[in-house]
Each structure stands twice: as structure tokens, then as C-alpha cells.
Amino acid sequence: MKIALTGVNGRVGRKIAGGALKDGHSVVGIDYADPNPEHEPHENFTFIKADLQDYQAALNAFKGCEAIIALAALPNPGDYLVATHNTNAVVSWNVLRAAAELGITRVAQASSVNVLGGYYNEKVHFDYFPVDEEHPCRPDEPYGLSKQIMELQADAITRRYKFMRVASLRLHWFIDPSWIDRVYNMPQEEAHKHLWGYTFESAGIRAFLLAVTAGDFTGHERFFVIAPKIGSRIKTSELIGEFFPNAEIKKELAHDEAAINSSKAERFFGWRHDDDDHGGTEAAPAAAAAKTEEVVAAPAEKTEEVKAVEEQADKPEEQVNGHAGHVEAEETVESALPEKVEEEAVVVPHETVHANGSAAVEPEAVADNLIDEKDIVVIDVEPIGHSACACCEESIVHAVSVEPEAIAAN
Ligand SMILES: NC(=O)c1ccc[n+]([C@@H]2O[C@H](COP(=O)([O-])OP(=O)(O)OC[C@H]3O[C@@H](n4cnc5c(N)ncnc54)[C@H](O)[C@@H]3O)[C@@H](O)[C@H]2O)c1
């Protein structure tokens, strides 16, 4: 299947692109940011640079595609003013309306558990447990609201364009299994707001692909795609009793059973967040620009607000105000570095720079395809970006500048 994938350069998009290519699909990756030049090209991958706030750009980008996986968005409330709401509500409508115009029948769009009114809300309220897709949504902030609007847009579009099928996938915190300790260690005053959940990357990848390839439902449907267990050492029933004593208990929950029920996705398109998802994702790295088409001359000038949101963008969705672990360097440094330096730098997470100026590269850098194995050389380095870790103030080095001759010589 030829799948258009919006937000392909993002944290989730890179993984889903890899999974789709691995499953034999062709991917048209769309983003308003340039792809990471370090990523390997793939013959079934095309990159289109487009700002999806522009409807015509969306139409051009999706032409010839059979399905859309829509991820492009600002993934947190930012400064709680207007950027997230206004960007997301426009992008999601443009994607859906362009799909209708082009006769694209299948769309899976990234909603969020925050549509309920969760992590970013001042206060949370749940009527009953386990929470399911019938539960009322009560966001009080622009991000969750933009997801609620996106879901309403899908209701409207499928009401009129009956050939379309739209799945809104309500992801939880999209993590690699190696991050699970962060879920367990999140302070309760934060964790209770999103009901102690998470979605492993491999499970999220499968959910998006199944949502456009499997099952035979019609119209628009909402689905939670969340792990069946909570990330807490305390029993689910005890946590609910403590934080939501007035909620109706519709079904007694076993020891660590999730407080949010995702069984609808299994009934509709055969998805389950299996236990073996704990083994991690085998998704190939997101492909990069095999062929780059410039759909719009340049992305729209970013406002200060958008920049503020983007600085937070790659932190886990639920951790913008939180501190549950090291902020991944690869994902924060690009916005932190001045443009010129960025061009010259190989960005390496949690790089160790020794006193003698040599660098040891951690294996995750290769696994994440941030750098190619052949580029791993011990060379003279000049640290160009230090910062304190968001959680523990420990000083971490974000990037090193690498002499191109050193790599060539190797
Ligand atoms: N990461 C999570 O834990 C999580 C959890 C729940 C839901 N989600 C949702 O999943 C989606 C992807 O999240 P992510 O964590 O990968 O975010 P991200 O910020 O890493 O990626 C979003 C991508 O969308 C692109 N984008 C933004 N506005 C655009 C526009 N106008 N035109 C074209 N491209 C644009 C950005 O350049 C970026 O590459 C989002 O919709 C987010 O709300 C993420």
C-alpha cells in the first residue's frame, strides 16, 4: 500500500515509517522540517516537504496515496496560548478534507490519551473505570482540545464522505521499553493524571498500520491504544481508590490491569498490545530523503509560540512539565543549537567526552540510526553543547563537532 505519513520527522513518525517500510509498504513521508541527513535512504520512501497548514500543499502531497497516517502536530500545549490549538486544528482538517477530495478511503490519525483531559489539565476527573472510548472528554487546555476537535472533524468528514474510514488512535506516552522505569518512577501527583499508562513503540507502530490495512468498519471510530498493564508497583484498584474515590467501578481490575481499556481496537482491527511488545521494537530506522520534492518553497515562518512548543516537542508528551528521566539529547539538541553549528555537528545522545578530547559513542546512537556505524571513530572532538539534564541537573554533552577529514581518513 502507498501510505502518506505526516509528521514523518517526528519521534513517532520516524518509527512508523520504519515499520511500514519493513512491512513492504511504500511511504510518502511529509513534514515541514527537513529530514535528518544521517538517515539511510530507502527505495520505497519519498520525502515531501510541506506545511500542512496549507490546504493546497496537503492536496499535492497526498496525490496518488491509498492511505494516510496523520501524525503532524504540535505534541503538547506549549505556552497554553494559541499555537498548538490553531496549528493542530488546521492541520487535521486539511488532512481530512484533502483525503476526501482525493478519494483516499483510509486514514489513521494520532489522537492522544490527553483528549480525556489528563496530564496537562489543571484537574482531572474520571466518571468510571476502566475508562473506555465512551468516557466523556474534558480537556481544559489547548492540546487535548485540539485532539478532541480532530476527532469531531473526523465525525463530520465521514458523515459526508461515506467512502472514508477514519481511525483516531488515542496513544499514550509512546516509549521504547527501555524507558519503562520513567513510567514507574513518575511522581504520583503527575502519574495519576494520565492513569499510569504508556504505549510501547512496537505496539503503536502495529496499531497505525493495522488501522489502515485491517478490519472492515466504516465511518469514524476512536480507539485507545495503550498497554494492558499500568506502570506502577501499586495495585490499580488501590490507586483508583486513592485518587478517584467517587468513580464508579464498572469492572474489578486485576492486580496491575490498565485503568484504560483498549479492547475495542482488537475487536475492530485485531490490535493488541501484546506482552512480547516488552521486547522492544524492531522497526527499521525511519527512512530519509531518497527523493525530496519541494512542495512549498519553504515552511511558513515559525512564530515564537511554535518555536516554544517545538523546544518541548520531543520530550515525552506527558513530561513537558515533569521530570521523569534524562531528556534524550538527540531530541533536544537540534532546537538548542545555533543553525550553523547544527550543520557541522554529528548529534550523538549522551556522548561521553573524555579529558583527552576523544569521544566514545554509545551503541544506542547506532541503534537509533543517528549515526552510521562506519562513522564511529575515536577522533578529536570539540564539545559544542553542554546542558544540564532536565531532571537531575547532571551536566550532559549534547553534541560534538567532528572534523570531516577524520571520518574520511577512517
Ligand atoms: N510522543 C508521544 O508520546 C505521543 C503520545 C500521544 C499522542 N502523540 C501524537 O502523535 C503525533 C506525533 O507525535 P511526536 O511525539 O512524534 O511529535 P513530534 O513533534 O516529534 O513530531 C511531529 C512532527 O510533525 C511535524 N509538523 C508539525 N506541524 C507541521 C505542519 N504544519 N506541517 C507539516 N509537518 C508538521 C513536525 O515537524 C514534527 O516532525 C502527534 O500528533 C502527537 O500529538 C504523541
From CA 338, how far away is CA 172, in angstroms rounded? 32
What's the whole-number mean pLDDT along residues 241-259?
97
CATH of the domain at 186: 3.40.50.720
- Among protein residues, the one whose CA lies closest to atom 20 of ligand 1: 10
**What's the mean per-residue pLDDT of the chain?**
77
255 in a structural domain = yes
Are 137 and 228 within one domain?
A: yes
Distance 129 CA to ligand 1 centre (A): 29
The atom number, within ligand 1, closest to the CA of 72 reads 24
The atom number, within ligand 1, closest to the CA of 175 reads 3
299 in a structural domain = no
The atom number, within ligand 1, closest to the CA of 173 reads 3
Q: Could you list the beta-strand ranges (E) of 116-218.
A: 128-129, 165-171, 174-175, 199-200
Around ligand 1, the residues with Cβ closer than 6 Å are 7, 9-13, 31-33, 51-53, 71-73, 75, 87, 91, 110, 112, 171, 173-174, 313-314, 316-317
Domain boundary among 241, 264, 279: 279
Contact present, 21 and 287 (Cβ < 8 Å): yes
User: What pLDDT was estimated at residue 309?
Assistant: 55
Cα separations (Å) of 56 from 52, 92, 98, 352? 8, 14, 8, 46
Are 32 and 92 within one domain?
A: yes
Distance 183 CA to ligand 1 centre (A): 21
Are 165 and 56 within one domain?
A: yes
From CA 380, how far away is CA 357, in angstroms rounded? 6
Mutate to test the pocket of ligand 1, among 5, 171, 262 (most ligand atoms within 8 A of CB): 171
User: What pLDDT was estimated at residue 308?
Assistant: 56
pLDDT band at 382 (very low <50, low <70, confident <90, very high): very low
pLDDT band at 370 (very low <50, low <70, confident <90, very high): very low
**110, 50, 219, 206 alpha-carbon torsion, rounded to 10°:** -40
Mutate to test the pocket of ligand 1, among 47, 317, 333 (most ligand atoms within 8 A of CB): 317
290 in a structural domain = no
Are 76 and 163 within one domain?
A: yes
389 in a structural domain = yes
Directed axis angle between helix 83-102 and helix 55-62, to 10°? 50
Domain boundary among 215, 245, 279: 279
From CA 133, how far away is CA 154, in angstroms rounded? 15
267 in a structural domain = yes
Distance 310 CA to ligand 1 centre (A): 9
pLDDT band at 306 (very low <50, low <70, confident <90, very high): low
Report DSSP state, residue 287. Answer: P
Place of cell 505534541: 75
What's the predicted TM-score (pTM) here? 0.75
User: What pLDDT was estimated at residue 345?
Assistant: 33
Q: What percent of the chain has pLDDT over 90?
A: 65
Are 274 and 341 within one domain?
A: no
Q: Is the peptide bond before 130 cis (omega within 30 degrees of 0)?
A: yes
User: What pLDDT was estimated at residue 329?
Assistant: 30
Are 253 and 347 within one domain?
A: no
- Among protein residues, the one whose CA lies closest to atom 43 of ligand 1: 75
Q: Is the pLDDT of residue 272 over 50?
A: yes
Are 243 and 336 within one domain?
A: no
More confident residue, 256 or 299: 256
User: What pLDDT was estimated at residue 275?
Assistant: 59
Lowest mean pLDDT among 1-5, 15-19, 290-294, 312-316: 290-294
Distance 298 CA to ligand 1 centre (A): 19
Are 273 and 345 within one domain?
A: no
298 in a structural domain = no
301 in a structural domain = no
Distance 170 CA to ligand 1 centre (A): 13
126 in a structural domain = yes
Distance 235 CA to ligand 1 centre (A): 32
Residue 334: name the closest of 399, 277, 383 by CA.
399
Domain boundary among 249, 279, 309: 279
Give 33: exposed, middle or buried? Use CB within 10 Å, 0-12, 13-18, 19+: middle
Q: For residue range 98-133, what is the model confidence (pLDDT) as tens digits?
A: 999 999 999 999 999 999 999 999 999 999 999 999
What's the whole-number mean pLDDT along residues 231-250?
98
Q: For residue range 175-191, what is the model confidence (pLDDT) as tens digits?
A: 999 999 999 999 999 99
Q: For residue range 20-40, what is the model confidence (pLDDT) as tens digits?
A: 999 999 999 999 999 888 778
pLDDT band at 351 (very low <50, low <70, confident <90, very high): very low
Are 242 and 336 within one domain?
A: no
More confident residue, 394 or 311: 311
Place of cell 546542558: 387
By residue range, what is the domain housing residue 340? 326-409
Q: Mention every residue, 6+ apart, whose C-beta is less than 8 A from residue 388.
A: 394, 395, 396
Q: For residue range 50-99, what is the model confidence (pLDDT) as tens digits?
A: 999 999 999 999 999 999 999 999 999 999 999 999 999 999 999 999 99
The atom number, within ligand 1, closest to the CA of 109 reads 41
Mutate to test the pocket of ligand 1, among 53, 109, 116, 174 (most ligand atoms within 8 A of CB): 174
Q: For residue range 129-176, what is the model confidence (pLDDT) as tens digits?
A: 999 999 999 999 999 999 999 999 999 999 999 999 999 999 999 999
Contact present, 231 and 183 (Cβ < 8 Å): yes
Distance 76 CA to ligand 1 centre (A): 9
Q: Is the pLDDT of residue 394 over 50?
A: no
Are 159 and 259 within one domain?
A: yes
User: What pLDDT was estimated at residue 310?
Assistant: 54
Are 126 and 231 within one domain?
A: yes
In the chain, how many domains are there?
A: 2
User: What pLDDT was estimated at residue 274?
Assistant: 81
User: What pLDDT was estimated at residue 41?
Assistant: 86
Contact present, 203 and 225 (Cβ < 8 Å): yes
3-state secondary structure string, 221-244? EEEEECCCECCCCCCHHHHHHHHC
Distance 200 CA to ligand 1 centre (A): 16
Tally: H helices and E strands in the chain:
14, 16
Lowest mean pLDDT among 51-65, 112-126, 234-248, 298-312: 298-312
Are 40 and 98 within one domain?
A: yes
